[in-house]
Chain A
Amino acid sequence: MLLRRRSDSSRSRARATHDQAGLRFDVAVDRRTVVVQMVLAVGAGECVAIVGPSGAGKSTVLAAIAGLVPLRSGSVWLDGRFLSSSDRPAVPLRERRVGLLTQRAGLFPHLDGASNIGYGLPGGAAHARVGELAQALGLEDVLGARPARMSAGQRQRVGLARVLAADPRVVLLDEPFSALDPELRRKTGAWVSGEVRRRQVPCLLVTHDLAEAQRVASRVAVLEGGACLQVAEPEVVAREPATQAVARLVGYDAFVGVELVRPLLSASGAIAPGATTVGVRGDLVSLAPENVSVGRGSQTSPGVELVGRLRSMVASGAAVEASVVLDDGSEVPVRLAPGQSLPRIGAEVRLHVHNPACFDASGRLVQGAGGKPSAAAPALGRAPVPHGATAG
């Protein structure tokens, strides 16, 4: 009887863990004074970007998945295969098949580019594979050079090639494009997302650039102070940041108390009920046309009008970045389109904030940018951790 039951449960556990491709983790890791916690499931061929300020714990999450730091609690599973947990011996690093590119790339200083890229390959297969990757990443010139002779951007790409050459089952990239120029950044990012799809492996990408996350990843996880604040598609995070903290991290420049502004009618009739603060993003703001009267009743476009004084203007490409100071001292950036007549510095200006994101007193989103009511504060996606994970 006992035997029977045991074999049953082990079979069901096997089903629960082996059928699911991709990376699933639910980890808590001590990092100096904070505990970094994150739960996520990344599908095969999917790339999820982790964004957040420095010190948020982004790199720590990658290190935990790679097995470089001990888990305080939780577990990591890859393609239904157990990798590590806090209460069970972890799979040794060499058997994890985790590809990790750290911020510093960690190239072997005594080996040339080709030997670095081919490090994880058995001798025979190395040569052709290294050539392929070098060509794809534009590294033909540094194959014979040691890392000391490479530029920072070349080192990053050699590191990337080394990770992918070893045919990992999951790809973890920590700011992999930080030293690349914008064009190479775009190209390399596109190449990475293509490789991830083609190889059908899960990928986690740490970045602090939301635009880059949007280009490469299909979902964004926002991390701050060790806590994961939101996981959603990049567009959703930009439009409907779950909290004011997330909004600040994804490009909202200013937060203005609603009592200081004169709300205009929004598409749905009014500012979302309960909103006390609106988040303002430079690209959602424009100078109000002179002929629009301030206050309720203007039907030109749903949004909020703000009154302030123009503090500064700086050319930014063809446009002009202006900064407007409101009555309460908060500063709102405005992008003035080319050809628009420019006000004088110090002049009073009226700003129109199109469909701003609105937050309640506790900082939670009540209405997304674009006037979409929030779907009752997006839940932090809890990854389905397989049965055996906590049972041990």
Chain B
Amino acid sequence: MLGVVGVLGAVAVWLALLGPLGALFAHLSPSALRTSLSAPHALSPLVTSVEASAVALGVLVAVGTPLAWAMTRNRLPGPRVWESGMLVMLLMPPLVIGLLLVFFVGPLTPIGHGLARLHLSASNTFFALVVAEIYEAAPYYVLGAAAAFTSVEPELEEHAWLLGDTWWRSFRRVTLPLAAPGLASALAMAWARAMGAFGAVLVIAYHPYGLPMQIWVTLQQTGLAAALPFALLLLVVALPLPVLAYVWTARARIASGPDASVGDPAL
């Protein structure tokens, strides 16, 4: 349809964009991989990253899912405001997020004082890492989940209620199954963001090292080649979930076929 030139152009752009990934494998030597990863505590940044991201995602699912649902069901006053806020978060450079977080939840702020009473500190702690990851990943999850809920017709929820369902029951039996593929991709996107969070982390959670920070520190102290194994590790951990979500979404789309809830009344 595009012609040979068009296809070749597309291939060129695609290769150029994915080229860096190829470079990773071209320059990664097995011996470097072995030495880097077998060093004492070499895997602790991985564990830190996975744990922090898991907690961050847990929080996001718990607070972001209801918010996303309410945003798409006109349950909130000023519907545009909510979406705009999420877009602002999405567009904020991570480094700026980190800076602003210092002035928002840092130890010297009112919130910081409150956290101190709970023996928490949002500065160079595991807690700070989680906070930074939440802020970096939140817009991806909330906007993705909102898109997933938008794809579920509100009429279906109303039918479930009229058939006697409570809100929670209809959410479990109708909304969630229908929004699941979309929610999975939102979750996957947020996971990749949380795992890779760096800008905000650099400012408020230099310690304990997560994987991105480990890459940065290794790069600074030892050099490019030594950082590559950690980059691979990050990719391996951060990517499978998005890829799985993508596959699932595609399969769900095929399985449900054309818009099934609508029977065109023959008028």
Contact = CB atoms under 8 A, between A and B. Distances in A.
Given A68-B158, A148-B256, A105 B163 contact: no
Interface in A107-155: 107-110, 119-120, 146-150, 152, 155
A106 interface: yes
A106 to B, nearest CB: 5
B265 A94 contact: no
Interface string B145-162: 000000001011011111
A156 interface: yes
Interface of A: 66, 68, 92-94, 96-100, 102-110, 119-120, 146-150, 152, 155-156, 162, 166, 175, 178-179
Nearest to B159: A106
A99 B256 contact: no
Contacts of B266: 152, 178-179
Nearest to A149: B257
A155 B263 contact: yes
B108 to A, nearest CB: 47
B163 A120 contact: yes
Contact of B262 (A66, A104, A162): A104
A179 B256 contact: no
Given A148-B256, A148-B258, A152-B264, A93 B155 contact: no
Contacts of A146: 256-257, 260
Contacts, number: 89
16 contacts: A93-B158, A93-B161, A97-B164, A106-B156, A106-B158, A107-B260, A107-B261, A108-B178, A109-B256, A110-B177, A119-B173, A120-B163, A152-B264, A166-B164, A179-B265, A179-B266
Contacts of B177: 110
**5 A-B pairs with the lowest CB-CB distances in the bound complex, closest first:** A120-B163, A148-B260, A109-B260, A93-B161, A155-B263
A185 to B, nearest CB: 11
Interface residues of B, number: 28
Interface of B: 153, 155-156, 158-166, 173-174, 177-178, 256-267
Given A92-B161, A109-B256, A178 B267 contact: yes
B55 to A, nearest CB: 31
B47 to A, nearest CB: 37
Contact of A100 (B159, B164, B258): B159
Nearest to B160: A119
Contacts of B164: 94, 97, 120, 166
B261 A152 contact: no
Contacts of B166: 94
A104 B260 contact: no
Given A94-B166, A109-B261, A178-B265, 12 more contacts: A94-B162, A97-B164, A98-B162, A103-B265, A104-B261, A105-B261, A106-B153, A110-B178, A152-B264, A152-B266, A178-B267, A179-B263
Nearest to B261: A109
B36 to A, nearest CB: 46
A102 to B, nearest CB: 7
A149 B264 CA distance: 14
B265 A108 contact: no
B261 A108 contact: yes
